[in-house]
Structures are given as structure tokens and as C-alpha cells.
A and B are shown apart, each in its own frame.
Chain A
Amino acid sequence: MNRKAQIGIAIQDTVAFIFVLFALFLFFVFSGAFLDWFKSHAKEISSLQELQSQAHHSLYAWLQKRVDENLTVADLVRLSVMDPSYKDKLEQEAKLAFDFYDYELKIEGLEGGAKFYIPSNKTLVLSLKIKRK
């Protein structure tokens, strides 16, 4: 083999080597970035799930709370639909229970909130969404 051919092969090997090193570099950069993204995304999801779980358990306990000898909060929700004069009382109870958070409480559903169904002549969907203050 002449000298020129040897130089040609050496250049070819070097280029291939650099290419592979570059591919490896890209792989480590992208996989690292992906894992970082996944971790932060998972953290976001878990924080959201934690808040949803808190909302679920808080709402479950609150609905069963007695507001007087005869009525629970669930009854008060039902009554507030039958007779709007009970709405103030319901809002007061909600404020007492959830004022620790930024909260949104709605009858007839709320996207992404914890929800419970309350039997009535038309089933009510009570939803609670909370955020940390």
C-alpha cells in the first residue's frame, strides 16, 4: 500500500471515530436532558396528585360533617339546590373548612377537581379544587 492510501485510511478511521464520539456525546446529552425532563414532569404530576388526594379526603370528610343535630354538609348541599337561602350557610361552612387553601367549590362539576356524587332527584356533582396559598 502506498503512503497516500495509508493516509486516506487513517483519515477515514479518524472521521468515523469522531462521528461515533459525537453520536455518543449526543446520546448522553439527550438522554440526560430527557431524564431531567421526566423527573421534573413526574414531580409536577406527583405534586398535582398530592393536591388532588388532599382535596378528595378533605371533601369526603367535610361532606359527612354535622352542621347541626339533623343536617350534614351533604344535606346542606342538597338543600342549597332546593332553596337558595341555604347557599350562604353552605359558603360559610366551606370557608371554615377550606380557607387554608385557595379553593374552588362547585355544584355540577369542576374540571380536574376532586368530586363526590350526592343523591337527589337529579344527582349532584360536588367538586373541590385546591391550591396552596
Chain B
Amino acid sequence: MKKQGGSFALLLVLFVFVLGGLLWSSFRTKNLNIKTDLAALENLSLKEIDRLSFYLDQAASLAAQQALEKLAATGAVEGAKCFVHSFDGKKFIEWNEQCKPEQKLLKENFLIYYNQSLTELLNRYPEKFELKYDSSLEAGVLKTVAKTKILATQKAIFALYNISFDFEHTSEVNLTKLLSVDDFELIYQKVKNKKLEEIKKLNFEHWNFEVKESAGLIFFEFRTKKNFFFEKDGIEHYSPLELRFCHKL
């Protein structure tokens, strides 16, 4: 009887030993899996931040170019108080004292066009995210501060994770390198009350221009020296911006 008890105790101890080993092994494997998952998730977060920051910088630059294109296309003025003339099959807005490019209005309109275009581009980002941004234009530098929340689902070794994390990103576009919003007013100041011969001698940092005279009006066709990215009727372009206006002799 004593011998049977001893054998039973030995079996029990061995059984506990095997069970303990199995539990320890399972615990250790799970721990390793969780550690691997956490490292992968941290890596994923950093990559998502890079991806979205890059997209924001690119979108800010494109939206700025699009806003400048809209300013140029509208003759850099508020259309309601302006006369429009047709010449050579093209429309020219007449610049005069009632209808001229004004710095304050240009800056306001630029920011309106910029925000519209940036929102459109951000809506095309293929991943889930939430974003609030503020934009400002000071001394030729367009600054956009974006507060962002990224939402992602990641299947890793141990489990399927739903993760969200916040970060703030600032995009800066130096407009003086592209085209200053002030250029439009500067053009007006340089060409107003000038004779055709004087106008032909003018030089502009960012623009080339052609000028023609007809029926008491001077017609100006300005083109930027650089190409810009912009969308028109859903088609993307990379070409100079065009500014057309006319002025009474």
C-alpha cells in the first residue's frame, strides 16, 4: 500500500512538472509575440506619420500653386465691378482705379482658394484619419499647422489591433520662390499711366509678357517664367500661369 502511494505521488509530481513546463512555454511564447507586436505597431505608427506628413507637405505645395492659378485666372480682381473685353478670341479684364489688384483682398482670396484646394486634396488621402488645420500667410511664407489623428487597423502575430494616435505637423511653403501674391499689385503699379513704349521696357522677376494695343486699350498677356502644377476641369497641368488684363491708354 505504501509503495502504491509513493508511485502515485511520483506520478503527480511529474504531471505537475509537465503541466508547469507547458504553461511556462505558452506564457513565454505569448510574451515574445506581444513584444514583437508592440515593436511592429510602433514601427507602423512612425511610418504612418512619415506618410501623412509627406502627403500634407505635398498637398500644401500643390494647393498653393492651385490658389495662385485661380488668382491669375480671375485677373487678380473681384469680378463684379470689372469690365471684360474680348480680343484675339480671349477675355481680358480691364484694370482701373475701381477694378485693380489689392494686396489685402488678394491675400484673403488666396487663403480661401488655398483652403478649398487643400481640403479637396486631403479628402483624396486613401487611409483613415482626422484632421484640423489652420493656415496663415506672413511675409511670403504660407504656414499650415495640422492637428492629426491617424486611425489604423493592423493584423500582427498575437492579435488584430485598432490603433489611433495624434500628432501635429507644420507645412511651410515659401511663396517668394514660386510667385508672390504681391506680384499682381506690383504689376498694376508698374504699368498704370505708362505709355506703350515705356511698358515694353519693363522687367518682372517672375513673369514674361506680351503687350498689344487696340481701340484705345493696351492688352497684356503675362506668363510666369516657371511652370506650375494646377488642375483645370479635372485635368492636371504643369505649365506657366497666365494673367490677362487690359488698361486704357
Range of interface residues on chain A? 35 or more
Q: 1/0 per residue B20-64: CB within 8 Å of A?
A: 011001000100100010001001000100110011001100100
- B contacts, CB < 8 Å to A: 3-4, 7, 10-11, 14-15, 17-18, 21-22, 25, 29, 32, 36, 40, 43, 47, 50-51, 54-55, 58-59, 62, 121, 124-127, 157, 226-227, 229, 231, 234-238
- A contacts, CB < 8 Å to B: 9, 12-13, 16-17, 20, 23-24, 27, 31, 34-35, 38, 42, 45, 49, 53, 56, 60, 63-64, 70, 74-75, 78-79, 82-83, 114-123, 125
User: Using Cβ atoms and an 8 Å threshold, which residues of chain A touch B17?
Assistant: 24
CA distance A82 to B58 in the complex (A): 17
Given A38-B29, A42-B36, residue A119 in contact with residue B7 (CB < 8 A): no
Distance from A95 Cβ to chain B, minimum over Cβ atoms (Å): 22
User: Are B18 and A119 touching (Cβ within 8 A)?
Assistant: no
User: Are B58 and A45 touching (Cβ within 8 A)?
Assistant: no
Given A9-B3, A13-B7, A42-B36, residue A119 in contact with residue B59 (CB < 8 A): yes
User: Using Cβ atoms and an 8 Å threshold, which residues of chain B touch A45?
Assistant: 36, 157
User: Are B14 and A78 touching (Cβ within 8 A)?
Assistant: no
User: Using Cβ atoms and an 8 Å threshold, which residues of chain B touch A120?
Assistant: 236
CA distance A38 to B54 in the complex (A): 36
User: Using Cβ atoms and an 8 Å threshold, which residues of chain A touch B59?
Assistant: 119
20 A-B interface contacts by CB (under 8 A): A13-B3, A13-B7, A16-B7, A16-B11, A17-B7, A17-B10, A24-B14, A27-B18, A27-B21, A27-B22, A34-B25, A49-B40, A53-B43, A56-B47, A64-B54, A70-B226, A118-B58, A119-B55, A123-B124, A123-B125
User: Are A117 and B126 touching (Cβ within 8 A)?
Assistant: yes
CA distance A115 to B124 in the complex (A): 16
